[in-house]
Structure 1
Amino acid sequence: MDWILVAEQALNGLQFGLMLFLLAAGLTLVFGIMDMINLAHGSLYMVGAYLAAATALATGSFVLAVAAAVIGTALLGMLLELALLRRLYQRDHLSQVLATFALILISNEGVRMIWGEQPLMLNTPAALSGPVELLPGLMYPAYRLLIIGVGLAVALLLFLLVTRTRIGMWVRAGASNRAMATAMGVNIKRLFTLVFGFGAALCALAGALLGPLLAVQVGMGESILILAFVVIVIGGIGSIRGALVGALLVGLVDTLSRTLLPAVMRQLASPEVASNLGPALASILIYVLMAAVLFWKPQGLFPARG
Protein backbone atom coordinates (compact mmCIF):
# COMPACT_ATOMS: atom_id res chain seq x y z
CA MET A 1 0.00 0.00 0.00
CA ASP A 2 1.22 3.50 -0.87
CA TRP A 3 2.76 5.26 2.16
CA ILE A 4 1.28 8.56 0.98
CA LEU A 5 -2.24 7.15 1.31
CA VAL A 6 -1.47 5.87 4.82
CA ALA A 7 0.03 9.21 5.84
CA GLU A 8 -2.98 11.14 4.48
CA GLN A 9 -5.42 8.88 6.32
CA ALA A 10 -3.39 9.17 9.54
CA LEU A 11 -3.62 12.97 9.29
CA ASN A 12 -7.36 12.66 8.60
CA GLY A 13 -7.67 10.48 11.70
CA LEU A 14 -5.74 13.07 13.75
CA GLN A 15 -8.01 15.83 12.50
CA PHE A 16 -11.17 13.82 13.21
CA GLY A 17 -9.90 12.81 16.64
CA LEU A 18 -9.17 16.42 17.64
CA MET A 19 -12.68 17.47 16.64
CA LEU A 20 -14.07 14.58 18.67
CA PHE A 21 -11.99 15.89 21.57
CA LEU A 22 -13.73 19.27 21.38
CA LEU A 23 -17.06 17.48 21.72
CA ALA A 24 -15.93 14.98 24.32
CA ALA A 25 -14.15 17.56 26.51
CA GLY A 26 -17.36 19.48 27.15
CA LEU A 27 -19.33 16.28 27.58
CA THR A 28 -16.88 14.76 30.06
CA LEU A 29 -16.79 17.99 32.10
CA VAL A 30 -20.59 18.04 32.37
CA PHE A 31 -20.79 14.29 33.04
CA GLY A 32 -17.84 14.09 35.42
CA ILE A 33 -18.41 17.31 37.38
CA MET A 34 -22.18 17.72 37.38
CA ASP A 35 -23.04 14.00 37.20
CA MET A 36 -25.38 15.00 34.38
CA ILE A 37 -26.09 12.82 31.32
CA ASN A 38 -26.74 15.32 28.55
CA LEU A 39 -27.96 13.65 25.37
CA ALA A 40 -28.58 17.12 23.88
CA HIS A 41 -24.83 17.76 23.68
CA GLY A 42 -24.88 16.83 19.98
CA SER A 43 -27.70 19.30 19.39
CA LEU A 44 -25.43 22.13 20.57
CA TYR A 45 -22.90 20.94 17.97
CA MET A 46 -25.65 21.13 15.34
CA VAL A 47 -26.76 24.60 16.45
CA GLY A 48 -23.16 25.82 16.31
CA ALA A 49 -22.79 24.55 12.74
CA TYR A 50 -26.05 26.23 11.68
CA LEU A 51 -25.11 29.54 13.32
CA ALA A 52 -21.74 29.44 11.55
CA ALA A 53 -23.31 28.65 8.17
CA ALA A 54 -25.99 31.35 8.52
CA THR A 55 -23.45 33.98 9.61
CA ALA A 56 -21.08 33.07 6.77
CA LEU A 57 -23.91 33.42 4.25
CA ALA A 58 -24.88 36.81 5.70
CA THR A 59 -21.40 38.33 6.12
CA GLY A 60 -19.10 36.32 3.87
CA SER A 61 -16.57 36.07 6.72
CA PHE A 62 -15.55 32.67 8.04
CA VAL A 63 -13.90 34.18 11.13
CA LEU A 64 -17.10 36.03 12.05
CA ALA A 65 -19.04 32.82 11.43
CA VAL A 66 -16.91 30.85 13.89
CA ALA A 67 -17.07 33.65 16.49
CA ALA A 68 -20.86 33.96 16.17
CA ALA A 69 -21.27 30.18 16.49
CA VAL A 70 -19.08 29.95 19.60
CA ILE A 71 -20.62 32.97 21.39
CA GLY A 72 -24.21 32.23 20.41
CA THR A 73 -24.05 28.54 21.37
CA ALA A 74 -22.31 29.32 24.67
CA LEU A 75 -25.11 31.75 25.57
CA LEU A 76 -27.74 29.20 24.52
CA GLY A 77 -26.03 26.53 26.63
CA MET A 78 -25.95 28.75 29.72
CA LEU A 79 -29.62 29.66 29.18
CA LEU A 80 -30.53 25.97 28.96
CA GLU A 81 -28.60 25.24 32.14
CA LEU A 82 -30.29 28.08 34.02
CA ALA A 83 -33.81 27.37 32.76
CA LEU A 84 -33.94 23.57 32.74
CA LEU A 85 -30.88 21.47 33.35
CA ARG A 86 -30.01 22.63 36.88
CA ARG A 87 -33.40 21.29 37.96
CA LEU A 88 -32.25 17.83 36.87
CA TYR A 89 -29.02 17.63 38.91
CA GLN A 90 -30.73 16.01 41.86
CA ARG A 91 -32.86 13.71 39.71
CA ASP A 92 -31.87 10.20 38.66
CA HIS A 93 -30.13 9.51 35.37
CA LEU A 94 -33.30 8.19 33.74
CA SER A 95 -34.99 11.58 34.23
CA GLN A 96 -31.92 13.31 32.78
CA VAL A 97 -31.91 11.02 29.75
CA LEU A 98 -35.62 11.56 29.06
CA ALA A 99 -35.41 15.35 29.49
CA THR A 100 -32.33 15.81 27.31
CA PHE A 101 -33.72 13.44 24.67
CA ALA A 102 -36.74 15.74 24.52
CA LEU A 103 -34.30 18.62 23.97
CA ILE A 104 -32.92 16.76 20.93
CA LEU A 105 -36.40 16.61 19.38
CA ILE A 106 -37.10 20.26 20.25
CA SER A 107 -33.74 21.36 18.80
CA ASN A 108 -34.27 19.47 15.54
CA GLU A 109 -37.72 20.95 15.03
CA GLY A 110 -36.52 24.41 16.02
CA VAL A 111 -33.75 24.25 13.41
CA ARG A 112 -36.29 23.13 10.79
CA MET A 113 -38.55 26.08 11.66
CA ILE A 114 -35.71 28.65 11.44
CA TRP A 115 -33.55 27.35 8.57
CA GLY A 116 -35.78 24.88 6.77
CA GLU A 117 -35.34 21.26 5.81
CA GLN A 118 -32.55 21.70 3.24
CA PRO A 119 -28.90 21.53 4.39
CA LEU A 120 -26.96 24.80 4.54
CA MET A 121 -23.66 25.30 2.76
CA LEU A 122 -20.58 26.43 4.68
CA ASN A 123 -17.69 26.95 2.32
CA THR A 124 -14.01 26.56 3.06
CA PRO A 125 -12.21 29.94 3.31
CA ALA A 126 -10.70 30.85 -0.04
CA ALA A 127 -7.23 31.34 1.47
CA LEU A 128 -7.26 27.75 2.76
CA SER A 129 -8.89 26.02 -0.21
CA GLY A 130 -5.67 24.64 -1.69
CA PRO A 131 -3.24 21.91 -0.63
CA VAL A 132 0.07 22.22 1.22
CA GLU A 133 3.10 20.04 0.44
CA LEU A 134 4.20 18.54 3.75
CA LEU A 135 6.74 16.10 2.28
CA PRO A 136 7.86 15.37 -1.27
CA GLY A 137 4.80 13.81 -2.86
CA LEU A 138 2.57 14.32 0.20
CA MET A 139 -0.02 17.03 -0.42
CA TYR A 140 -2.59 17.77 2.28
CA PRO A 141 -5.49 20.27 2.36
CA ALA A 142 -4.57 23.50 4.14
CA TYR A 143 -7.98 23.72 5.81
CA ARG A 144 -7.57 20.32 7.46
CA LEU A 145 -4.16 21.44 8.74
CA LEU A 146 -5.89 24.48 10.26
CA ILE A 147 -8.34 22.18 12.03
CA ILE A 148 -5.45 20.11 13.42
CA GLY A 149 -3.69 23.25 14.63
CA VAL A 150 -6.82 24.66 16.28
CA GLY A 151 -7.54 21.31 17.93
CA LEU A 152 -4.03 21.03 19.37
CA ALA A 153 -4.10 24.65 20.58
CA VAL A 154 -7.48 24.17 22.30
CA ALA A 155 -6.27 20.94 23.93
CA LEU A 156 -3.19 22.72 25.33
CA LEU A 157 -5.19 25.73 26.55
CA LEU A 158 -7.81 23.50 28.14
CA PHE A 159 -5.13 21.48 29.94
CA LEU A 160 -3.52 24.67 31.27
CA LEU A 161 -6.93 26.07 32.27
CA VAL A 162 -7.90 22.99 34.26
CA THR A 163 -4.51 22.32 35.89
CA ARG A 164 -2.89 25.76 36.28
CA THR A 165 -5.62 28.31 37.02
CA ARG A 166 -7.91 29.15 39.94
CA ILE A 167 -11.00 28.40 37.85
CA GLY A 168 -9.57 24.97 37.08
CA MET A 169 -8.96 24.43 40.78
CA TRP A 170 -12.61 25.27 41.46
CA VAL A 171 -13.72 22.87 38.73
CA ARG A 172 -11.60 20.05 40.15
CA ALA A 173 -12.81 20.81 43.67
CA GLY A 174 -16.44 20.75 42.56
CA ALA A 175 -15.87 17.42 40.84
CA SER A 176 -14.15 15.87 43.88
CA ASN A 177 -16.37 17.13 46.71
CA ARG A 178 -19.22 19.49 45.87
CA ALA A 179 -20.25 20.11 49.49
CA MET A 180 -16.71 20.92 50.62
CA ALA A 181 -16.16 23.27 47.68
CA THR A 182 -19.37 25.12 48.61
CA ALA A 183 -18.24 25.35 52.24
CA MET A 184 -14.94 26.89 51.05
CA GLY A 185 -16.83 29.67 49.28
CA VAL A 186 -17.10 28.40 45.70
CA ASN A 187 -20.36 29.39 44.02
CA ILE A 188 -21.18 25.96 42.60
CA LYS A 189 -24.30 27.06 40.72
CA ARG A 190 -22.45 29.81 38.88
CA LEU A 191 -19.51 27.48 38.25
CA PHE A 192 -21.78 24.83 36.74
CA THR A 193 -23.40 27.42 34.45
CA LEU A 194 -19.99 28.58 33.22
CA VAL A 195 -18.78 25.00 32.70
CA PHE A 196 -21.89 24.13 30.70
CA GLY A 197 -21.52 27.28 28.58
CA PHE A 198 -17.85 26.44 27.99
CA GLY A 199 -18.76 22.92 26.90
CA ALA A 200 -21.38 24.34 24.53
CA ALA A 201 -18.76 26.71 23.07
CA LEU A 202 -16.42 23.77 22.37
CA CYS A 203 -19.30 21.97 20.61
CA ALA A 204 -19.95 25.03 18.48
CA LEU A 205 -16.27 25.33 17.57
CA ALA A 206 -16.27 21.72 16.38
CA GLY A 207 -19.48 22.24 14.42
CA ALA A 208 -18.21 25.42 12.76
CA LEU A 209 -14.87 23.88 11.79
CA LEU A 210 -16.40 20.64 10.48
CA GLY A 211 -19.19 22.46 8.64
CA PRO A 212 -17.21 22.87 5.38
CA LEU A 213 -16.30 19.15 5.45
CA LEU A 214 -19.70 17.70 6.44
CA ALA A 215 -23.28 18.54 5.57
CA VAL A 216 -24.85 21.13 7.89
CA GLN A 217 -28.20 19.43 8.31
CA VAL A 218 -30.87 18.54 10.85
CA GLY A 219 -29.90 15.62 13.09
CA MET A 220 -26.17 15.89 12.42
CA GLY A 221 -25.41 15.82 16.15
CA GLU A 222 -26.88 12.41 16.96
CA SER A 223 -24.34 10.21 15.18
CA ILE A 224 -21.30 12.10 16.43
CA LEU A 225 -22.71 12.13 19.98
CA ILE A 226 -22.39 8.33 20.08
CA LEU A 227 -18.70 8.62 19.23
CA ALA A 228 -18.25 11.30 21.90
CA PHE A 229 -19.68 8.95 24.53
CA VAL A 230 -17.35 6.19 23.29
CA VAL A 231 -14.43 8.61 23.71
CA ILE A 232 -15.21 9.51 27.32
CA VAL A 233 -15.83 5.87 28.24
CA ILE A 234 -12.43 4.91 26.80
CA GLY A 235 -10.60 7.88 28.29
CA GLY A 236 -12.30 7.97 31.69
CA ILE A 237 -15.31 10.03 32.75
CA GLY A 238 -14.35 13.52 33.94
CA SER A 239 -10.77 13.35 32.62
CA ILE A 240 -9.60 15.93 30.07
CA ARG A 241 -6.41 13.96 29.43
CA GLY A 242 -8.50 10.82 28.96
CA ALA A 243 -10.82 12.64 26.54
CA LEU A 244 -7.83 13.70 24.42
CA VAL A 245 -6.24 10.24 24.35
CA GLY A 246 -9.59 8.52 23.75
CA ALA A 247 -10.52 10.93 20.95
CA LEU A 248 -7.20 10.44 19.17
CA LEU A 249 -7.52 6.66 19.49
CA VAL A 250 -11.07 6.64 18.15
CA GLY A 251 -10.26 9.06 15.33
CA LEU A 252 -7.19 7.16 14.16
CA VAL A 253 -8.72 3.68 14.53
CA ASP A 254 -11.93 4.68 12.75
CA THR A 255 -10.22 6.49 9.86
CA LEU A 256 -7.34 4.06 9.28
CA SER A 257 -9.54 0.96 9.57
CA ARG A 258 -11.90 2.24 6.87
CA THR A 259 -8.91 2.55 4.54
CA LEU A 260 -6.70 -0.36 5.53
CA LEU A 261 -9.18 -3.13 6.36
CA PRO A 262 -10.80 -3.30 2.90
CA ALA A 263 -7.32 -3.43 1.34
CA VAL A 264 -6.27 -6.24 3.71
CA MET A 265 -9.49 -8.13 3.09
CA ARG A 266 -8.91 -7.99 -0.67
CA GLN A 267 -5.66 -9.88 -0.10
CA LEU A 268 -7.44 -12.60 1.91
CA ALA A 269 -10.81 -13.00 0.21
CA SER A 270 -12.66 -12.42 -3.03
CA PRO A 271 -13.42 -8.82 -4.08
CA GLU A 272 -17.15 -9.27 -3.32
CA VAL A 273 -16.51 -10.53 0.22
CA ALA A 274 -13.87 -7.86 0.82
CA SER A 275 -16.15 -5.04 -0.35
CA ASN A 276 -18.86 -6.12 2.10
CA LEU A 277 -16.86 -7.42 5.05
CA GLY A 278 -14.14 -4.73 5.15
CA PRO A 279 -16.40 -1.70 5.80
CA ALA A 280 -18.53 -3.74 8.24
CA LEU A 281 -15.49 -4.68 10.33
CA ALA A 282 -14.19 -1.11 10.20
CA SER A 283 -17.47 0.28 11.52
CA ILE A 284 -17.43 -1.93 14.63
CA LEU A 285 -13.73 -1.73 15.39
CA ILE A 286 -14.01 1.30 17.69
CA TYR A 287 -16.63 -0.53 19.76
CA VAL A 288 -14.31 -3.53 19.97
CA LEU A 289 -11.64 -1.10 21.20
CA MET A 290 -14.04 0.28 23.82
CA ALA A 291 -14.94 -3.23 25.00
CA ALA A 292 -11.25 -4.14 25.30
CA VAL A 293 -10.47 -1.01 27.33
CA LEU A 294 -13.42 -1.64 29.65
CA PHE A 295 -12.32 -5.24 30.12
CA TRP A 296 -8.80 -4.29 31.22
CA LYS A 297 -9.56 -0.89 32.81
CA PRO A 298 -13.28 -0.59 33.68
CA GLN A 299 -12.89 3.07 34.75
CA GLY A 300 -11.17 4.12 31.51
CA LEU A 301 -7.56 4.79 30.63
CA PHE A 302 -7.21 7.93 32.76
CA PRO A 303 -10.02 8.05 35.35
CA ALA A 304 -10.44 11.50 36.87
CA ARG A 305 -10.45 10.13 40.39
CA GLY A 306 -7.80 7.46 39.82
Structure 2
Amino acid sequence: MADLELLRARKGAFRIALIPPEVLDALNDGLLPTVNLNEFLALDLARLSRAVAQQLGLDPAHERLTDTLAMLAAFKPMQRHTHIARALYDMTAEHAQRDALAHQLATHPSDIARSWAVQWLQFGGQSLARRLQGVHRFAADAHFGVREFAWMAVRDGVIAELDSALALLQPWVHDGDENIRRFASELTRPRGVWCAPIKALQAEPWRALPLLEPLRADGSRYVQNSVANWLNDASKSQPLWVREIGERWLAQSPTPATRYIVKRALRTLNKKTAGADEEEDSLA
Protein backbone atom coordinates (compact mmCIF):
# COMPACT_ATOMS: atom_id res chain seq x y z
CA MET A 1 0.00 0.00 0.00
CA ALA A 2 1.24 3.50 -0.79
CA ASP A 3 2.45 5.71 2.05
CA LEU A 4 -0.64 7.76 2.94
CA GLU A 5 1.40 10.47 4.65
CA LEU A 6 3.33 11.06 1.46
CA LEU A 7 0.14 11.06 -0.58
CA ARG A 8 -1.47 13.62 1.72
CA ALA A 9 1.36 16.03 0.94
CA ARG A 10 0.75 15.79 -2.82
CA LYS A 11 -0.17 18.59 -5.16
CA GLY A 12 -3.21 17.78 -7.22
CA ALA A 13 -2.76 16.84 -10.87
CA PHE A 14 -3.86 19.50 -13.33
CA ARG A 15 -5.50 16.87 -15.56
CA ILE A 16 -7.53 13.83 -14.57
CA ALA A 17 -5.37 11.59 -16.74
CA LEU A 18 -2.31 12.60 -14.72
CA ILE A 19 -3.66 11.50 -11.33
CA PRO A 20 -1.32 8.72 -10.11
CA PRO A 21 -3.02 5.31 -9.79
CA GLU A 22 -2.04 5.02 -6.12
CA VAL A 23 -3.72 8.35 -5.39
CA LEU A 24 -6.90 7.35 -7.21
CA ASP A 25 -6.99 4.02 -5.38
CA ALA A 26 -6.63 5.74 -2.00
CA LEU A 27 -9.33 8.26 -2.90
CA ASN A 28 -11.75 5.56 -4.01
CA ASP A 29 -11.04 3.53 -0.88
CA GLY A 30 -11.95 6.52 1.29
CA LEU A 31 -8.45 6.88 2.71
CA LEU A 32 -7.64 10.36 1.41
CA PRO A 33 -9.40 13.67 0.84
CA THR A 34 -9.43 15.20 -2.63
CA VAL A 35 -7.21 18.21 -3.17
CA ASN A 36 -8.72 19.70 -6.32
CA LEU A 37 -11.65 19.52 -8.72
CA ASN A 38 -9.93 17.03 -11.02
CA GLU A 39 -9.69 14.49 -8.21
CA PHE A 40 -13.30 15.14 -7.29
CA LEU A 41 -14.42 14.49 -10.87
CA ALA A 42 -12.24 11.39 -11.22
CA LEU A 43 -13.80 9.53 -8.29
CA ASP A 44 -15.46 6.17 -8.76
CA LEU A 45 -18.49 6.94 -6.58
CA ALA A 46 -19.73 3.35 -6.62
CA ARG A 47 -16.44 2.04 -5.29
CA LEU A 48 -16.09 4.85 -2.77
CA SER A 49 -19.62 4.52 -1.41
CA ARG A 50 -19.22 0.77 -0.93
CA ALA A 51 -15.89 1.31 0.82
CA VAL A 52 -17.38 3.93 3.14
CA ALA A 53 -20.39 1.71 3.87
CA GLN A 54 -18.08 -1.14 4.86
CA GLN A 55 -15.99 1.18 7.04
CA LEU A 56 -19.18 2.18 8.85
CA GLY A 57 -20.01 -1.46 9.45
CA LEU A 58 -22.83 -1.44 6.90
CA ASP A 59 -23.38 -3.97 4.14
CA PRO A 60 -21.69 -2.64 0.96
CA ALA A 61 -23.94 -4.94 -1.09
CA HIS A 62 -27.14 -3.69 0.59
CA GLU A 63 -30.07 -3.54 -1.81
CA ARG A 64 -30.72 0.14 -1.03
CA LEU A 65 -27.21 1.18 -2.03
CA THR A 66 -27.05 -1.21 -4.97
CA ASP A 67 -30.28 0.20 -6.43
CA THR A 68 -29.01 3.76 -6.02
CA LEU A 69 -25.70 3.01 -7.71
CA ALA A 70 -27.48 1.34 -10.62
CA MET A 71 -29.34 4.60 -11.34
CA LEU A 72 -26.47 6.96 -10.61
CA ALA A 73 -25.59 7.78 -14.22
CA ALA A 74 -29.08 9.18 -14.79
CA PHE A 75 -28.47 12.04 -12.36
CA LYS A 76 -26.42 15.20 -12.62
CA PRO A 77 -23.01 15.02 -10.90
CA MET A 78 -23.96 16.94 -7.74
CA GLN A 79 -27.27 15.06 -7.44
CA ARG A 80 -25.39 11.77 -7.38
CA HIS A 81 -23.88 12.67 -4.04
CA THR A 82 -27.29 13.47 -2.57
CA HIS A 83 -28.67 10.11 -3.70
CA ILE A 84 -25.73 8.23 -2.18
CA ALA A 85 -26.06 10.20 1.04
CA ARG A 86 -29.75 9.33 1.17
CA ALA A 87 -29.04 5.65 0.58
CA LEU A 88 -26.53 5.53 3.43
CA TYR A 89 -28.97 7.43 5.66
CA ASP A 90 -31.77 4.95 4.90
CA MET A 91 -29.45 2.01 5.55
CA THR A 92 -28.90 3.25 9.11
CA ALA A 93 -32.61 3.81 9.81
CA GLU A 94 -32.96 0.89 12.21
CA HIS A 95 -29.38 0.75 13.39
CA ALA A 96 -29.03 0.79 17.17
CA GLN A 97 -25.97 3.05 16.97
CA ARG A 98 -27.18 5.48 14.32
CA ASP A 99 -25.78 8.56 16.09
CA ALA A 100 -22.39 6.87 16.37
CA LEU A 101 -22.45 6.07 12.66
CA ALA A 102 -23.36 9.68 11.86
CA HIS A 103 -20.38 10.85 13.91
CA GLN A 104 -18.11 8.34 12.20
CA LEU A 105 -19.23 9.58 8.78
CA ALA A 106 -18.88 13.23 9.84
CA THR A 107 -15.27 12.65 10.92
CA HIS A 108 -14.30 10.37 8.05
CA PRO A 109 -10.89 10.97 6.39
CA SER A 110 -12.59 11.32 3.00
CA ASP A 111 -14.00 14.78 2.34
CA ILE A 112 -16.61 13.13 0.13
CA ALA A 113 -17.82 10.97 3.00
CA ARG A 114 -18.08 14.05 5.23
CA SER A 115 -20.03 15.76 2.45
CA TRP A 116 -22.49 12.87 2.52
CA ALA A 117 -22.73 13.28 6.28
CA VAL A 118 -23.71 16.93 6.06
CA GLN A 119 -26.48 16.05 3.63
CA TRP A 120 -28.09 13.86 6.29
CA LEU A 121 -29.31 17.13 7.78
CA GLN A 122 -31.75 17.39 4.87
CA PHE A 123 -33.41 14.08 5.62
CA GLY A 124 -34.39 14.22 9.28
CA GLY A 125 -37.17 16.81 9.23
CA GLN A 126 -35.43 18.94 11.87
CA SER A 127 -36.18 22.59 12.50
CA LEU A 128 -34.04 25.21 10.81
CA ALA A 129 -32.40 26.07 14.14
CA ARG A 130 -31.41 22.43 14.69
CA ARG A 131 -30.14 22.10 11.13
CA LEU A 132 -27.97 25.18 11.49
CA GLN A 133 -26.67 23.85 14.78
CA GLY A 134 -25.83 20.57 13.07
CA VAL A 135 -24.19 22.17 10.04
CA HIS A 136 -21.82 24.34 12.10
CA ARG A 137 -19.07 21.72 12.29
CA PHE A 138 -19.19 21.22 8.52
CA ALA A 139 -19.18 24.96 7.83
CA ALA A 140 -15.86 25.05 9.72
CA ASP A 141 -14.45 21.96 7.99
CA ALA A 142 -10.85 22.21 6.81
CA HIS A 143 -11.85 21.05 3.32
CA PHE A 144 -13.32 23.53 0.85
CA GLY A 145 -15.60 20.91 -0.70
CA VAL A 146 -17.28 20.01 2.57
CA ARG A 147 -17.90 23.69 3.26
CA GLU A 148 -19.67 24.04 -0.09
CA PHE A 149 -21.89 21.03 0.54
CA ALA A 150 -22.61 22.49 3.99
CA TRP A 151 -24.36 25.63 2.80
CA MET A 152 -26.18 23.73 0.06
CA ALA A 153 -27.56 21.34 2.69
CA VAL A 154 -29.50 24.09 4.48
CA ARG A 155 -30.25 26.43 1.60
CA ASP A 156 -33.85 25.24 1.22
CA GLY A 157 -34.50 25.95 4.90
CA VAL A 158 -33.23 29.50 4.49
CA ILE A 159 -35.52 30.07 1.51
CA ALA A 160 -38.52 28.71 3.43
CA GLU A 161 -37.82 30.63 6.64
CA LEU A 162 -35.79 33.64 5.56
CA ASP A 163 -36.45 35.96 8.50
CA SER A 164 -35.66 33.24 11.03
CA ALA A 165 -32.50 32.30 9.12
CA LEU A 166 -31.22 35.88 9.01
CA ALA A 167 -31.74 36.19 12.76
CA LEU A 168 -30.14 32.83 13.56
CA LEU A 169 -27.10 33.62 11.42
CA GLN A 170 -26.28 36.98 13.00
CA PRO A 171 -23.89 35.48 15.61
CA TRP A 172 -22.10 33.64 12.81
CA VAL A 173 -20.81 36.83 11.18
CA HIS A 174 -19.01 37.71 14.43
CA ASP A 175 -17.36 34.30 14.81
CA GLY A 176 -13.59 34.11 15.09
CA ASP A 177 -13.43 31.46 12.35
CA GLU A 178 -13.36 32.97 8.86
CA ASN A 179 -15.06 29.84 7.50
CA ILE A 180 -18.07 30.41 9.74
CA ARG A 181 -18.33 34.09 8.79
CA ARG A 182 -18.05 33.24 5.12
CA PHE A 183 -20.69 30.52 5.48
CA ALA A 184 -23.31 33.04 6.66
CA SER A 185 -22.65 35.21 3.62
CA GLU A 186 -22.41 32.40 1.07
CA LEU A 187 -25.51 30.62 2.35
CA THR A 188 -27.70 33.69 1.82
CA ARG A 189 -26.43 34.87 -1.58
CA PRO A 190 -29.47 36.05 -3.57
CA ARG A 191 -28.59 34.11 -6.73
CA GLY A 192 -26.33 31.43 -5.34
CA VAL A 193 -24.32 28.79 -7.16
CA TRP A 194 -25.67 25.33 -8.06
CA CYS A 195 -28.87 26.06 -6.16
CA ALA A 196 -32.21 27.85 -6.20
CA PRO A 197 -32.17 31.64 -5.88
CA ILE A 198 -33.52 33.42 -2.84
CA LYS A 199 -36.12 35.49 -4.65
CA ALA A 200 -37.00 37.50 -1.54
CA LEU A 201 -33.41 38.76 -1.33
CA GLN A 202 -33.26 39.43 -5.03
CA ALA A 203 -36.22 41.75 -4.56
CA GLU A 204 -35.22 43.13 -1.13
CA PRO A 205 -31.50 42.54 -0.54
CA TRP A 206 -31.47 45.12 2.28
CA ARG A 207 -33.13 42.54 4.52
CA ALA A 208 -29.73 40.88 4.86
CA LEU A 209 -27.85 44.00 5.94
CA PRO A 210 -27.54 42.74 9.55
CA LEU A 211 -25.33 39.98 8.12
CA LEU A 212 -23.43 42.07 5.59
CA GLU A 213 -22.64 45.19 7.62
CA PRO A 214 -20.35 43.43 10.14
CA LEU A 215 -18.40 41.93 7.23
CA ARG A 216 -17.81 45.08 5.19
CA ALA A 217 -14.20 45.40 6.41
CA ASP A 218 -13.50 41.76 7.24
CA GLY A 219 -9.80 40.95 7.25
CA SER A 220 -10.21 37.60 5.48
CA ARG A 221 -9.99 37.57 1.69
CA TYR A 222 -12.16 34.43 1.75
CA VAL A 223 -14.92 36.40 3.46
CA GLN A 224 -14.35 39.51 1.35
CA ASN A 225 -14.88 37.56 -1.87
CA SER A 226 -18.13 36.08 -0.58
CA VAL A 227 -19.52 39.46 0.50
CA ALA A 228 -18.51 40.98 -2.84
CA ASN A 229 -20.20 38.12 -4.69
CA TRP A 230 -23.30 38.57 -2.52
CA LEU A 231 -23.58 42.21 -3.53
CA ASN A 232 -22.76 41.43 -7.15
CA ASP A 233 -25.69 38.98 -7.12
CA ALA A 234 -27.92 41.73 -5.72
CA SER A 235 -26.72 44.22 -8.33
CA LYS A 236 -28.48 42.24 -11.04
CA SER A 237 -31.88 43.00 -9.52
CA GLN A 238 -31.27 46.08 -7.33
CA PRO A 239 -28.37 47.99 -8.98
CA LEU A 240 -29.08 51.38 -7.43
CA TRP A 241 -29.17 49.94 -3.93
CA VAL A 242 -25.84 48.17 -4.41
CA ARG A 243 -24.23 51.39 -5.67
CA GLU A 244 -25.60 53.25 -2.65
CA ILE A 245 -24.26 50.59 -0.29
CA GLY A 246 -20.87 50.80 -1.94
CA GLU A 247 -20.72 54.56 -1.60
CA ARG A 248 -21.79 54.48 2.03
CA TRP A 249 -19.37 51.73 2.98
CA LEU A 250 -16.45 53.54 1.36
CA ALA A 251 -17.37 56.74 3.19
CA GLN A 252 -17.81 55.08 6.56
CA SER A 253 -15.06 52.45 6.27
CA PRO A 254 -12.26 53.62 3.94
CA THR A 255 -10.13 50.52 4.48
CA PRO A 256 -8.35 48.32 1.90
CA ALA A 257 -10.73 45.47 2.73
CA THR A 258 -13.83 47.58 2.09
CA ARG A 259 -12.39 49.03 -1.11
CA TYR A 260 -11.69 45.51 -2.36
CA ILE A 261 -15.21 44.32 -1.52
CA VAL A 262 -16.89 47.29 -3.18
CA LYS A 263 -14.75 47.09 -6.32
CA ARG A 264 -15.62 43.42 -6.79
CA ALA A 265 -19.26 44.01 -5.87
CA LEU A 266 -19.63 46.58 -8.63
CA ARG A 267 -17.84 44.60 -11.34
CA THR A 268 -20.99 43.66 -13.27
CA LEU A 269 -22.47 47.15 -13.02
CA ASN A 270 -19.20 48.77 -14.06
CA LYS A 271 -18.90 46.47 -17.07
CA LYS A 272 -22.39 47.48 -18.16
CA THR A 273 -21.55 51.15 -17.72
CA ALA A 274 -18.31 50.77 -19.66
CA GLY A 275 -20.12 48.90 -22.42
CA ALA A 276 -22.80 51.58 -22.63
CA ASP A 277 -20.13 54.31 -22.82
CA GLU A 278 -18.33 52.50 -25.64
CA GLU A 279 -21.57 52.11 -27.58
CA GLU A 280 -22.36 55.78 -27.09
CA ASP A 281 -18.89 56.76 -28.32
CA SER A 282 -19.27 54.59 -31.40
CA LEU A 283 -22.52 56.35 -32.27
CA ALA A 284 -21.14 59.83 -31.72
TM-score range, shorter chain: under 0.3
Structure with more of its chain in helix, by fraction: 1
Query: TM-score, with normalisation over the residues of structure 2?
Result: 0.25
CA radius of gyration, larger in: 2
Query: TM-score, with normalisation over the residues of structure 1?
Result: 0.23
RCO (CA 8 Å, sep 6+): is it higher in 1 or 2? 1
